[in-house]
Amino acid sequence: MQKIIQLLLICFFLHIERIYASGRTIHHHFPKVILISLDGFRYDYFDLAEKRSVNMSAFEKIKSQGVYIRRIQNEFPTLTFPSHFSMATGLHPESHGIVDNVFYDPTNNATFSSRNQSTASDSRFYDVGAEPIWVTNQFHGHKSGVTFWIGSEAKIKGQRPTHYLAPYNENITFNQRIDILMGWFEHENINLGLMYYHQPDRAGHIYGEASDEVFKAIEEINHGLDYLLTSIENRPSLSCCLNLILASDHGMTNVSSDRVIYLHDYIDPNEYTSAPKKSAEIWTLWPKKGHTAQSLYDKLKDKHFRLNVYLKEELPTRLFYDSSDRVGPVVVYADIGWTIIADRNSGVTLKNKGSHGYDPDYKDMSPFLMAMGPQISKNQTTELEETVRLIDIYSLICLILQLKPAPNNGSVCRIAPLVIHKSIANVNRSPTIFMIKFVILTIFMSYNGLYN
């Protein structure tokens, strides 16, 4: 009898860590991720900020304690909605379907516009096969929290984020968004948080790419990041496991009213249709009845030295933009710094001083990436510059959170050097388990004493 009891106690003792490893005791030590996007934060703003003596202390802290990739490769077109959905899904815009900020969807005979709240949250435009990271995360049984990320309001694969803010409200400050996310991490047990912020894009559009207002916005973001880092440090349950990823969606360049291309100088408006735009860097055209894509192409090709004209199937393969039916059969896009307007007599004037949406090979369109946290390695910078792509962020999050990714265009190999592969928790250090061991040993010794 004594040997049987001893054997049972030993077996229970050996398996107690396994029991707790699958329970709630170490749940809070599983990796967590917060991804923050700073709209329009061009890759070289760090260098320009240093020359202007802008306070970048929080950015520098993240860089010194983690990884910093000065310039990553963006997607085409370099616009807010396509780029953010590429970050979230790991897919090129031609694959995830958000091919522009404004586009026509022939399947649904409907027009998508980032400025129209009803279409911006319409699942018909988003739920076409792409799987955002919050859906992937929730398919693994976890919880997600999203503040204003593109696509988060739409139901995709039957899912919305566990917690999300809608509709978009620019008046909710950076720090308030941080408070909301921290509350979800701390009280709602999310393991993934995404946050979008509209600066310095807003300042760049209104005042220009390197205006004083841009760097004022960046300094305010730095204060917000300092607030975030302090918030994490003050929460031991998060500081041990929360990984911060900071990125931008695209860059910014200056534009002016003397660098405008007017489409109707070369083609008649009765020959084509397109998504309604006042001004843009890229237009895709559908020929009307009685006209062909070839005829539109022939009338536009080589007519303006700053206008790139392609039949969709002849687009450069590096743009990954020819396989979506939401891209018209004729694609025109301007050289950097130039703007396309339909008609010079339309009354449309170019008021903004900055813009984006151009070919991602232009450096001014390039975003950055930095990260820090328990699962993030250090000093992986120069050798990865221009190698890592925006679409790799999805794979990076999957790698950190140990999720099986959905099919995507990103590369785990490109992103793997950023991640430290280590055990997520050391249950032997748990005081709860120590006490259980102590009790078991006491019982064990008592039984030994009783039978001896």
In a domain, residue 363? The reply is: no
Residue 332 lies in a domain: yes
CATH no. for residue 142?
A: 3.40.720.10
Q: What is the length of the chain?
A: 452
Q: Of 294, 317, 351, which one is at a domain's C-terminal end?
A: 351
Catalytic residue IDs: 80
Residue 28 pLDDT exceeds 90: no
On the question of pLDDT at 71 being above 60, the answer is: yes
CA-to-CA distance for 261 and 281, rounded, in angstroms?
10
- Report the alpha-carbon distance of residue 86 to residue 62 in Å, rounded: 24
If asked whether residues 377 and 327 sit together in one domain, one would say no
For residues 174 and 68, membership in a common domain is answered with yes
45-55: pLDDT as tens digits? 999 999 999 99
**284 and 145, same domain (yes or no):** no
- Its domain, for residue 12, covers 2-23+435-451
Give CA–CA dist 44/65, Å, rounded.
Answer: 20
The DSSP string of 159-203 is B--SEEE-S--TTS-HHHHHHHHHHHHHHS--SEEEEEE-TTHHH
246 and 379 share one domain: yes
Residue ending a domain, choose from 324, 351, 378: 351
**DSSP letter for each residue of 2-21:** HHHHHHHHHHHHHHHHHHHH
Whole-number pLDDT of residue 428:
34
Residue-level pLDDT at 117: 87
In a domain, 384, yes or no: yes
Please indicate, yes or no, if residue 38 is contained in any of the structural domains.
Answer: yes
Is residue 130 located within the same domain as residue 244? yes
Do 303 and 409 fall into the same domain?
A: no
Q: What is the pLDDT at residue 440?
A: 52
Same domain? For 220 and 306 the reply is: no
Pair 392, 373 in one domain: yes
Shared-domain flag, residues 319 and 406: no
Query: Per the domain annotation, does 169 fall within a domain?
Result: yes
Looking at residue 3, its pLDDT comes to: 52
* Structure-derived torsion over alpha carbons of residues 342, 343, 348, 351, reported in degrees to the nearest 10: 70
Structure tokens at 8: 């049972």
User: Both 224 and 279 in a single domain?
Assistant: no
Residue 136 lies inside a defined structural domain of this protein: yes
Is 380 in the same domain as 344? no
- Rounded CA-CA distance 139/163 in Å is 15
pLDDT in tens, 409-434: 999 999 999 999 653 333 333 444 44
Does residue 27 have a pLDDT over 50?
A: no
Residue 65 has pLDDT above 60, yes or no: yes
Going by pLDDT thresholds of 50, 70 and 90, the confidence category of residue 179 is very high
In the prediction, which pLDDT does 384 show?
A: 80
Name the pLDDT band for 108 (thresholds 50, 70, 90): very high
**Is residue 381 situated within a structural domain?**
yes
Model pLDDT for residues 1-13, shown as the tens digit of each residue: 555 555 444 444 4
Of 351, 379, 397, which one is at a domain's C-terminal end? 351
What does the pLDDT read at residue 400? Answer: 98
Q: How confident is the model at residue 441 (pLDDT cuts 50, 70, 90)?
A: very low
How are beta strands 282-287 and 330-334 bridged, if at all? antiparallel
Asked if 161 and 192 sit in the same domain, the reply is yes
Contact partners, residue 99, CB within 8 Å, separation at least 6: 77, 82, 93, 284, 321, 324, 326, 327
In-domain check, residue 427:
no
CA 34 – CA 36 distance, rounded (Å): 7
CATH number for position 316: 3.30.1360.180
Domain count, the chain: 3
Q: What CA–CA distance (Å, rounded) separates 148 from 370? A: 21
Question: Under DSSP, is residue 243 helix (H, G, I), strand (E, B) or coil?
Answer: strand
Question: Is pLDDT at 176 greater than 50 in this prediction?
Answer: yes
